[in-house]
A and B are shown apart, each in its own frame.
Chain A
Amino acid sequence: MKKFIAAGVVAALMSGVAPASAATQIDFWHAFTGRLGELLDEQVSKFNDSQDEYNVVATNKGNYSETLNAGIAAFRAGEQPDILQVFEVGTATMMGAKGAIKPVYEVMAESGLPFDQSAYLAAVAGYYTTTDGQMLSLPYNSSTPVLYVNKDALEAAGLDPNMDLSTWDKVGTALDALKESGNKCPLTTAWQSWVHLENLSAYHNVPFASKENGFAGVDTELSLNGDVQVKHIDTLGQWAKDGKFIYSGRRNEGGAPFRAGECALFTESSAGYAGVKKEATFDFDIRPLPYWSDVEGAPQNTIIGGASLWVMQGQTEEEYKGVAAFFNFLSSSAIQAKWHQDTGYLPITMAAYEETKASGYYDENPGTDIAIIQMTGKAPTANSKGLRLGSFDQIRGIIDEELEGVWNGSKSAQEALDSAAERGDELLRRFEQANR
């Protein structure tokens, strides 16, 4: 920590003393460490080198929750940064804080820089856009759930490694064969609420919550206990009982056993690709997230997870111009295409996707375009635009708790989802009261 403070002091001194002190400093607080942090720093220094009017200073503030809390505390103390990276579940909290944030469309309009919202992938930008189409925060890192397949494990169970796994019924058949052949972990998942309830709902075009999943108002109520969701969770619960679905934890704990070759199928974020590619010693495949073929309109599109960049209130006009220039730079297709290929996150513009396609990247890395195809196959509906729910980080915690009750057999799917909806609604009412 001390080192960071020292580095910060040095950086602050240098930016203040250096001859280029005419440059306006733009503070950017983010939640990336390790490889992602390095790639982010690379983008920032590229921007800083490309011009001499602005100097972006990127600072890591811990994980997503810690970064959000640091931003909130700083705002209360009047020391907020210009740009704050906030994970997707914090979207409603940021939106509710009208006096604390400056919408991106406003920042861009005031800067006079070209800003075409239609250039962004609708399925990505839609999550951070108002119901009347104004972009509130800039999508930064976005991913969507896909199915990872260990082809060697399928083969060992006497299955065709290229078999069709597009629907949950077909996955069920594969799981039977895997279980029969003695596989200890036929299926596991990461981020259970995100994949098996939030995305499940969007993918089958059923609401996760009323009021367009919260987009149309804070007086929203959860409807995650509908027929499609109950059927899906009930099936997974049955699979858990039979030892075909193995619960590995609330986050992405399932990644380690999958990469070690112990699990055959794994539902996880498309951003997990880099890790799997690096560690897996078996032949693997990326497939679209399976769906229930008996639900009309399925598959719709899946929704994103990840984070976006919010601009904070209370800065000078000059700084906002710098923020706009930086956002413009981040949205350029060269930067986006590189980011997409390096990290496995989705490109935020169509142009970056086309550029990646033209470069032959998808042919060399089969399966890396599945996430984009899955998200952009159909125009998003009110049910598949995204989620905008207050206290959503905590609601996910409640969903996790209730699902654990299904996996260990203490609750039926219907009971667990009813209870999750009831408890989540209580938090939504609290949020509504605080944001009245």
Chain B
Amino acid sequence: MEKRVVFDNRWLPYLLLAPQLLVTFVFFFWPAGQAIYQSAFIPDPFGLKTQFVGLGNFEYLFGNRYYRESFLTTAVFSVLVTVSAMSFALWLAVLADRVIKGSSAYRTLLIWPYAVAPAIAGVLWLFMFNPFTGIIAWMLAQLGYTWNHTLDGGQAMALVVAASAWKQISYNFLFFLAGLQAIPKSVIEAAAIDGASFWRRFRTIVFPLLSPTTFFLLVVNIIYAFFDTFGVIHTITKGGPEQSTTILVYKVFSDGFVGQDLGSSAAQSVILLGLVGILTVVQFRYIERRVHY
């Protein structure tokens, strides 16, 4: 005899799924569909008239050398942000995991920066590194190093990477710490009794067991670097000097809200959408294989 409870109603599962589906549709599919639709037009800002241009917006974008170059800028920026945010967070998490006295105080303080809005984070870093009045710029000058990110593209990149990564470190820290605490102590103790050093235990036991967390954070951090960092860039460099910190998402913002060119902005969103989709597929197909659950 069948012991499971069976619901005969064919509609019930759909009904139960409906709220989630509705949210997904309204907040994800609809805007994405709108962006795809709008990318085929050149409208005027006030929406008084619009012209169908087919793939014209995409042609315009890919014909622009500066747009093509911003792919490379985005790649450099994203890799730097992801690697530095994750490695610092892991380092801090490993240290915090070993602290016995006052550990909760440390942890709370380390999580704080996550509550700071990107634009505020940008302004904070800008104050410290202002070439004229910033305290760190002044200290560097005392050491004989000239800091001027308004003219030096490399310094500007370093500054926006630092500000973006700093904000994300807390988030990564939280997950790494949880991941570390989920690793059975007995395994590590057994290795310690066998005489494995801290570094060896970390390399052969902790890091592999942490890989699901690391993988999750890799995906989240890349998406963060791609989409959520424009506030930092807007406040610190506005994409400059020249185009050295103009990443793709900043250009979406600047064409749409500074230039009021909604057609080009929509086309760029579609390109970004595709790019992140491809990146996520690649991550799941090729990197996830190496993850041990």
Contacts and interface: CB of A to CB of B under 8 A. Distances in A.
Nearest to A394: B259
B238 A397 contact: yes
- Pick from B43, B261, B263 the residue with the most CB of A within 10 Å: B261
A170 B240 CA distance: 32
Interface stretch (A157-165, A225-233, A245-253): A245-253
Contact of A408 (B51, B152, B239, B259): B152
Interface stretch (A31-39, A118-126, A372-380, A398-406): A398-406
Interface string A83-109: 000000000010011111000000000
A359 B101 CA distance: 72
A257 interface: yes
A391 B261 CA distance: 8
Q: Please report whether the interface of chain B is mostly helix, strand, loop or mixed according to DSSP.
A: loop
Contacts of B152: 408
B258 A401 contact: no
A434 B42 contact: yes
21 contacts: A65-B258, A72-B46, A96-B44, A97-B45, A97-B46, A247-B151, A248-B131, A256-B132, A262-B132, A394-B254, A394-B258, A401-B240, A402-B242, A404-B150, A404-B240, A407-B151, A426-B64, A433-B42, A434-B44, A434-B51, A435-B44
B243 interface: yes
What are the nearest 5 A-B pairs in CB distance? A404-B241, A394-B259, A408-B151, A100-B46, A97-B46
Interface of A: 65, 69, 72, 75-76, 93, 96-100, 247-250, 253, 256-257, 260, 262, 391, 393-394, 397, 400-402, 404-405, 407-408, 410, 423, 426-427, 430-431, 433-436
Contact of A394 (B51, B131, B255): B255
B106 interface: no
A426 B61 CA distance: 11
A427 B259 contact: yes
Interface of B: 42-48, 51, 60, 64, 66, 130-133, 148, 150-152, 238-243, 254-255, 257-261, 263-264
A260 B148 CA distance: 19
A410 B242 contact: yes
B132 A253 contact: yes
Nearest to B259: A394
A343 B144 CA distance: 41
A393 B258 contact: yes
A65 B258 CA distance: 7
Contacts of A248: 131-132, 150
Contacts of B66: 423
Query: A interface, by DSSP: helix, strand, loop or mixed?
Result: helix
A65 B259 CA distance: 10
B259 A76 contact: no
Given A394-B259, A401-B240, A408-B151, A99 B48 contact: yes
Contacts of A249: 150
A97 B46 CA distance: 7
A86 to B, nearest CB: 12
B238 A250 contact: yes
A410 B254 CA distance: 25
Contacts of A93: 45, 260
B50 to A, nearest CB: 9
A69 B255 CA distance: 12
A95 B179 CA distance: 58
Contacts of A402: 242
A393 B130 CA distance: 24
Given A248-B150, A426-B64, A72 B260 contact: yes
Given A97-B45, A391-B259, 11 more contacts: A69-B257, A75-B46, A76-B46, A99-B46, A247-B151, A248-B150, A249-B150, A394-B254, A401-B241, A427-B259, A434-B43
